[in-house]
Amino acid sequence: MTWYSKVAWSQGMFIQPQHFQQQNRYLENLVHNRCLGITPYDWGISELRLDADLLTQGKIAIEKCRGRFDDGTPFDISHAEEGPAVLEVPEIQATTVYLAIPLRRNGMIEIDTADSMEGLARYQTKEATIRDSMSNSNNSETPLQVADLKYRLALDNENLGDYSTIPIAFIIERNADGKINLDEDFIPPSLNCRSSRRILRYLEELQKLMKHRADSLAGRISDGGRGTNSTSEMADFLLLQSINRYEPLLKHLALTPDIHPESLYQFFLQIAGELTTFTKQNRRPSEYPPYQHTNLSQTFAPILGELRQSLSAIMEQSATQFEIQQKKFGIYVAPITDRSVISNGFFVLAAKAAMSTDDLRRHLPSQAKIGPVEQIRELVNLQLPGIAFRAMAAAPRQIPYHSGYTYFELDKNSPLWQQLNQSGGFAIHIGGDFPDLELEFWAIKE
């Protein structure tokens, strides 16, 4: 710990270079320790641009790069001449490119005054002309020795145990003509999502998927709120509500100049988890991979696949409401538009009248007759039995519950049932007095 201890300044002391060196180490260590834990994963790339022309020549060079190494050392390579030497890539395949600096080691030389970039000193000196910032004189400039971080570019096959490193690119291969092919899906450890074109493409893709799905859902929902498929409309409405909640926030994040990948991953998890309520059969989220700051490609790929699937899924309608048309002489008709429901579901008649639910439950089955629309007059005139139906203990969960309604289930074992496969629809004849009668007719998939 002595290497980072505070200098005990006192009057009359003989000041040497070591005093200022120790003071610098103390202050740097103080800032580093004070910043630890403020945010998780507080290292990585903030901005990165490689020289595209040199890639075609089999070389790697940095045009611009900003960020922070995993030991807390910030860096800013604003121009190519400030960065590491160009890396000549040999004919190899599948290798990672690292930006590296020597580790800070207690008791070791930190600044190299030699011209060579070899060695493990952390800094390299150079001469710079510095102007006096408090003087307007033309002679206020003076040469100073300054020290910059000693960067280098390295590959997987090199010994990097004495270096702090950040992976900045992944080489798929170097072609026979010398051109380097980089993995476009590679995402380096990042402090800012805007440093990765892949993450930006993820954001753009997700915005398009959300907008397309929201527009589609909004178009399907009827203005009245209770169309011919009220249950599916309710599911669509709730899904649209979720997407409408997240879509503006996603647009905001896409425009935010500084957003950490871990924060974005949290947001993606929240969206994916909520969407599974509507789009997965078990209504439960998948086991998503944990956030891996050193492997962002494998972190984001599964969750983006899940979001694509959820936002593209076609929600199955478990219940379909038939349109009921009132005819003369107490007859109601419900046309059949999908014959598959005749054999693949059960049918519910919901009724409401200006009378007690007990009276409605007791009298409606004996005073109403249900059958194929082509035979309803014959059934009524000859007093033949129709399709039986009986009161249900509660409203089926697949359809909306409305106060005051009584729910009846049709008997599919009735002799007339098979004739519905060739019928144009159901017909219901009401023979008794049921004031202010309201009817709903539902098919529920089993």
Q: pLDDT tens digit string along 181-236?
A: 999 999 999 999 999 999 999 999 999 999 999 988 887 675 444 444 456 677 88
Residue 224: per-residue pLDDT: 41
pTM of the predicted structure, to 2 decimals: 0.71
Closest CA to 303 of 353, 261, 241: 261
The rounded mean pLDDT for the chain is 88
Residue 223: per-residue pLDDT: 42
- Kindly list the distances between the CA atom of residue 62 and the CA atoms of 37, 72, 173, 194, 258, in Å, as whole numbers in the listed order: 30, 21, 19, 17, 21
Handedness of CA 220, 226, 232, 238 (dihedral sign): positive
Closest CA to 388 of 360, 416, 424: 416
Per-residue pLDDT of 247-302, as tens digits, reads: 999 999 999 999 999 999 999 999 999 999 988 888 898 899 999 999 999 999 99
How far apart CA 49 and CA 30 sit, in angstroms, is 32
Helix (H) or strand (E) holding 427: strand 425-430
Reading the block at residue 232, the tokens are: 């599916």
First and final C-alpha spacing in the chain: 72
- Kindly list the distances between the CA atom of residue 95 and the CA atoms of 81, 98, 155, 170, in Å, as whole numbers in the listed order: 25, 10, 7, 6
37-183: CATH topology: Triple-stranded beta-helix (2.60.520)
Q: Provide CATH 2.60.520 ranges for the chain.
A: 37-183
Round the CA-based radius of gyration of the chain to a whole number and report it: 37
Helix (H) or strand (E) holding 127: strand 123-131
Per-residue pLDDT of 31-87, as tens digits, reads: 888 888 788 999 999 999 999 999 999 999 999 999 999 988 999 998 867 889 999
Q: Is 443 helix (H, G, I), strand (E, B) or coil?
A: strand
Whats the size of the chain, residue-wise? Answer: 446
The residue written with tokens 């000041």 in the block is: 15
Handedness of CA 204, 205, 208, 213 (dihedral sign): negative
- Kindly list the distances between the CA atom of residue 360 and the CA atoms of 308, 349, 438, 442, in Å, as whole numbers in the listed order: 49, 12, 12, 18
Reading the block at residue 248, the tokens are: 């503006």
Q: Is 219 helix (H, G, I), strand (E, B) or coil?
A: helix
How far apart CA 62 and CA 52 sit, in angstroms, is 9
On whether the CB atoms of residues 278 and 284 are closer than 8 A, the answer is no
Per-residue pLDDT of 385-429, as tens digits, reads: 898 999 998 888 777 777 889 999 999 888 888 888 888 889 999
Q: pLDDT band at 117, cuts 50/70/90?
A: low
Q: Is 435 helix (H, G, I), strand (E, B) or coil?
A: coil
On whether the CB atoms of residues 199 and 187 are closer than 8 A, the answer is yes
How far apart CA 121 and CA 115 sit, in angstroms, is 12
Q: Is 346 helix (H, G, I), strand (E, B) or coil?
A: strand
Q: Is 198 helix (H, G, I), strand (E, B) or coil?
A: helix
Return the minimum-mean-pLDDT range out of 35-39, 142-146, 355-359.
35-39
Residue 315: per-residue pLDDT: 59
